[in-house]
Structure 1
Amino acid sequence: MTDSQFLETRAAFALRVKQLHDRLSEQLDAAMAKCGLLIPGKTTGIVQLLYSEGPRSKADIADRLRYSHQLTTQRLAWLLKHGMAETNPDPEDGRRQIVSLTPDGVEQAKILQTFLPRLQDAYSSLFSELGMDLDTEITNASRLLDTKPLADRI
């Protein structure tokens, strides 16, 4: 099988999902910037969580968003570096750091609140054009893979 033949098969599904993810991330960042958001799309889950539920540890963020601890640390690094978040020692456990939004981070979160309904509408329009609710189907696929992993399907 040649490379071009492989790309046309279902075996390349994960590659196409990654390409879609990259395209969505790039276009999301552009749309967010157009609306005055300085944060990248990859940090919106953390910003939204801290804004709506308050300060929490890195481990809590990772668990709540189902991110790896490494991914959480990478995404938090951007927020910390750009002054959107800060860490302080946990008063109950000095080994843990509690992450919270700074005033600039709160301001970005407020702008994000006006952006999110527009993003929902954009996705609804896309899913309508597709003729399927891709969000629901991805959630279902994840649930099915949790129940029976890909290795068990091969």
Structure 2
Amino acid sequence: MNRDVSQDPGRGPGEAEVAAERLQHAMKRLRARLRTESGQHAVGFAQSHLMVLGTIAQEGPITAARLADLEHVSPQSISQSLAVLKAEGLVRQEPDPQDGRKKLVSADPSALELIDRLMKGRSSFLAQAIDQVVAPDERADLDKAIELLERIATADPWRARI
């Protein structure tokens, strides 16, 4: 159920902006906590490199151009990330069998193990935190909040409204 709340007369001007600032702050703190609790700081890679690696693992084999599109970054940024990841042996490039002028990037099995370890660390922390601070009668509220976050993540606010 997607609804346009911008025309809701019960919402005063600026409420969305205040909520946006609070949400950004909460997400920033949660991301930092997840990086710490998952052991990400110990692996020594920038967040951007790990995000690129995760996309390669999920989507690969993939071209650098497609990777840049998916990550919403410049081709130069992808090239820098790929150089770091290749130097660490986490990705490899091979000629595209469909078009030999292109190269396909894929994740090394060690990259998949690294991503799995980090994701398990994040999930473990979140599960324990939920058990600790979310009361059983609040679980439905958490489910609703997750649903709302998923909807926000897929929103297209720049699309012209009819």
Report the TM-score when normalising by structure 2: 0.56
From the superposition, tell whether residues 78 and 11 of structure 1 become closer, same or farther in structure 2 (CA, over 3 Å). Answer: same
Indicate whether 1:78 and 2:87 are aligned.
Answer: no
Map of 2:150 onto structure 1: 139
Question: Which sections of structure 2, spanning at least 5 residues, go unmatched?
Answer: 1-13
Indicate whether 1:119 and 2:125 are aligned.
Answer: no
Q: Please say if residues 57 and 99 of structure 1, whose CA atoms lie closer than 8 Å, have aligned partners that are also in contact.
A: yes
Q: Distance between the aligned counterparts of 1:48 and 1:42, measured in 2?
A: 10
From the superposition, tell whether residues 21 and 93 of structure 1 become closer, same or farther in structure 2 (CA, over 3 Å). Answer: farther
Map of 1:5 onto structure 2: none
Match for 1:17: what amino acid?
L
**Counterparts of residues 56-135 of structure 1 (less than 5 Å):** 56-62=62-68, 66-70=70-74, 74=77, 77-82=80-85, 83=87, 84-94=90-100, 96-102=102-108, 106-127=109-130, 129=133, 131=138, 132-133=142-143, 134-135=145-146
Map of 2:21 onto structure 1: 15
Q: Distance between the aligned counterparts of 1:48 and 1:89, measured in 2?
A: 21
Q: Distance between the aligned counterparts of 1:88 and 1:36, measured in 2?
A: 30
Report the TM-score when normalising by structure 1: 0.58
CA root-mean-square deviation: 3.7
Structure 2 residue matching 1:98: 3-state secondary structure = strand
Match for 2:83: what amino acid?
L
From the superposition, tell whether residues 97 and 91 of structure 1 become closer, same or farther in structure 2 (CA, over 3 Å). Answer: same
Question: Which sections of structure 1, spanning at least 5 residues, go unmatched?
Answer: 1-7
**Counterparts of residues 42-53 of structure 1 (less than 5 Å):** 42-51=48-57
Q: Could you tell me how far 1:15 is from its partner in structure 2?
A: 3.1
Question: RCO greater where, 1 or 2, for CA within 8 Å and sep 6 or more?
Answer: 2
Q: Distance between the aligned counterparts of 2:102 and 2:81, measured in 1?
A: 19
